[in-house]
């Protein structure tokens, strides 16, 4: 952080004024340090750096000035002690847990998690002897009973992908701490602007920076934010040595993304709320899920812990009585809708400036069994919409003409 900055600045100000370390050129926009390594002034300095007696840049797998700038800026926005950037969001998810879990340790996780997170747990954590218990995301009694037994870590997402279930972060934090566990929250859907899990009791927050932090669909990246004991301890040790480091180029793109994150996300969230209200009243929509809609099952909780409802709206299309929502006819209706959209591009990214439509059952959640999908509420009629920066009235008109084909 720039030493001369006044204290107690708000996140929108910190987003443009932290992480600035000007070179002798006094550049206005942050420099990009595309360098793998650093020169030592002398053999003695190299010796002292390797001995840990001085803290200087040594090798970009360990640290890089552009990456440091991104980490400082994200930590400031989050109000956290420390941040470590990673090559992707999945690297952040993986390291946030793998750096603290060992054979015989117990991990308690929500059932509703990002597809690759579940794949990582099932294919790797499981075979490494980590005991994993999955909990129904929105069932308070299930969290209570799962966390009546000691655990090392608890991992959740809120809101969840794609069904937008909202988990009670303060309650789960209390239960986690009583069980001796660290609570780690994947905050991608809510964003750092719409929800501050650390202020709600979470110990660490992970991001896929690929989503809203870039916000223009260019680069992959991730970050782990939390206490310096955790981030500068096991997290840093693992990333530095196993190599899930972010490239300085990607870090620079994301650093600049943080400057506009707040205005983008606020605009997108306002459009998402407006479209969700309109969609839930549309005859071709059976359910529109958005955390800040009064019809959302955890609406009060969402209003208490989120300052924005996020940039995604999840729909179930009304395909008609007697049509099996898990069958081919329902899928055909969803595909007709998606293929007719002109402003919503069919893709699986989210948080982009461009609006996106996704069919979870056949893409992001295709590895899940049909029963597993049904359990979390995903059917063939489910379509996830990521609301971009277009004019909301153009988006509404586009959705309206495509819904006519359902």
Residue 45 or 347 having the CB closest to ligand PLP:
347
Backbone φ and ψ for 358, nearest 5 degrees, come out as -135, 140
Does 191 bind ligand PLP (CB under 6 A)? Our answer is no
165 vs 186, beta carbon nearer ligand PLP: 186
For residues 74 and 83, the answer to whether their CB atoms sit within 8 Å is: yes
Report the candidate in 8, 23, 12 with the shortest Cα–Cα distance to residue 262.
12
The CA distance from 168 to 248, in Å, is 36
Nearer to ligand PLP, 220 or 317 (CB): 220
The distance of closest approach from Cβ of residue 351 to ligand PLP in the complex, given in angstroms and rounded to an integer, is 8
Binding of ligand PLP by 211 (CB under 6 A): yes
- Closest to ligand PLP by CB, 89 vs 226, is 89
Query: Cα angle at 82 between 167 and 6, to 5 degrees?
Result: 105
Residue 236 in tokens: 């840093």
- Residue 148: C-alpha distances to residues 83, 106, 126, 151, 161 (Å): 31, 12, 21, 9, 27
CA separation for the pair 59, 73 (Å, rounded)? 21
Q: Report 222-251 residues binding ligand PLP (CB under 6 A).
A: 222
Which residue has the CB atom at the shortest distance from ligand PLP? Answer: 89
- Can the peptide bond before residue 393 be classed as cis, meaning omega within 30 degrees of 0? no
Site membership for ligand PLP, residue 395 (CB under 6 A): no
Instruction: Give the residue with the Cβ less far from ligand PLP, 119 or 228.
Output: 119
Contact yes or no for 230/203 (Cβ under 8 A): yes
The one among 105, 168, 186, 380 contacting ligand PLP by CB under 6 A: 186
For residue 242, report the phi and psi dihedrals to the nearest 5 degrees. -90, -20
Query: Contact region for ligand PLP (CB under 6 A) — 203-211, 311-319, 323-331, 390-398?
Result: 203-211
CB of 157 to ligand PLP, least distance (A): 5
Distance CA 351, CA 210 (A): 9
Minimum CB distance to ligand PLP, residue 211 (Å): 6
Stretch that binds ligand PLP, among 6-14, 174-182, 205-213, 354-362 (CB under 6 A): 205-213
Q: Does 220 bind ligand PLP (CB under 6 A)?
A: yes
Whole-angstrom distance, CA of residue 239 vs CA of residue 98: 10
Question: What is the closest distance, in whole angstroms, from the C-beta atom of residue 159 to ligand PLP in the complex?
Answer: 9
- Among residues 30, 72, 78, 157, the one that binds ligand PLP under rule CB under 6 A: 157
Shortest reach from residue 204's CB to ligand PLP, in Å = 14
The size of the interface with ligand PLP (CB under 6 A), counted in residues, is: 15
Q: Could you tell me whether strands 204-208 and 153-157 are parallel, antiparallel, or unpaired per DSSP bridges?
A: unpaired
* Out of 18, 110, 161, 331, the residue judged to bind ligand PLP by CB under 6 A: 161
Sole binder of ligand PLP in the list 70, 84, 94, 114 (CB under 6 A): 114
Site for ligand PLP in 79-108 (CB under 6 A): 88-90, 93
DSSP reduced 3-state for 2: coil
**Residue from the set 68, 210, 262, 305 that interacts with ligand PLP by CB under 6 A:** 210
Q: Which is nearer to ligand PLP, 89 or 388 (CB)?
A: 89
Chain mean position to CA 216: 15
What three-state secondary structure class fits 315?
Answer: strand
Q: CA 293 to CA 55: how far, in whole Å?
A: 49
Closest distance of CB 361 from ligand PLP, Å: 17
| Sequence-ordered alpha helix ranges (H) in 243-327 | 248-280, 299-305
Q: Which residues bind ligand PLP (CB under 6 A)?
A: 88-90, 93, 114, 157, 161, 186, 188-189, 208, 210-211, 220, 222
């Amino acid at each position: 952080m720039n030493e001369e900055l006044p204290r107690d600045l708000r996140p929108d100000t910190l987003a443009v004024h932290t992480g600035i370390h000007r070179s002798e050129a006094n550049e206005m926009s942050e420099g990009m340090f595309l360098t793998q390594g650093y020169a030592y002034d002398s053999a003695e300095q190299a010796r002292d750096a390797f001995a840990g007696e001085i803290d200087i840049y040594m090798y970009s797998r360990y640290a890089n000035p552009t990456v440091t700038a991104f980490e400082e800026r994200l930590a400031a926005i989050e109000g956290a002690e420390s941040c470590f950037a990673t090559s992707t969001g999945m690297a952040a998810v993986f390291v946030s847990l793998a750096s603290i879990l060992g054979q015989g340790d117990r991990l308690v996780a929500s059932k509703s998690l990002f597809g690759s997170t579940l794949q990582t747990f099932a294919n790797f954590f499981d075979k490494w002897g980590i005991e994993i218990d999955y909990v129904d995301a929105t069932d308070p009694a299930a969290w209570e009973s799962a966390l009546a037994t000691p655990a090392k870590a608890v991992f959740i997402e809120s809101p969840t992908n794609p069904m937008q279930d909202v988990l009670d972060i303060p309650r789960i934090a209390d239960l986690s701490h009583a069980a001796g566990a660290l609570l780690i929250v994947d905050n991608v859907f809510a964003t750092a602007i719409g929800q501050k899990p650390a202020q709600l009791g979470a110990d660490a927050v992970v991001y896929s920076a690929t989503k809203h932090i870039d916000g223009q669909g260019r680069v992959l990246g991730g970050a782990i934010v939390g206490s310096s004991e955790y981030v500068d301890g096991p997290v840093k040790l693992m990333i530095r040595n196993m190599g899930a480091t972010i490239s300085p180029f990607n870090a620079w793109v994301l650093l600049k993304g943080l400057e506009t994150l707040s205005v983008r996300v606020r605009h997108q969230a306002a459009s998402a709320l407006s479209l969700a209200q309109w969609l839930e009243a549309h005859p071709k929509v059976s359910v529109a899920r958005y955390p800040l809609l009064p019809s959302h099952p955890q609406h009060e909780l969402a209003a208490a812990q989120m300052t924005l409802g996020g940039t995604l709206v999840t729909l179930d299309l009304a395909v008609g009585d007697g049509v099996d929502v898990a069958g081919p006819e329902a899928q055909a209706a969803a595909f007709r809708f998606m293929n007719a959209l002109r402003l919503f591009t069919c893709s699986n990214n989210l948080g982009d400036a461009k609006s996106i439509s996704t069919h979870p059952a056949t893409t992001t959640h295709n590895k899940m069994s049909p029963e597993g999908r049904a359990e979390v509420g995903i059917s063939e009629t489910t379509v996830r919409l990521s609301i971009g920066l277009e004019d909301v009235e153009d988006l509404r008109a586009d959705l309206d003409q495509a819904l006519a084909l359902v």
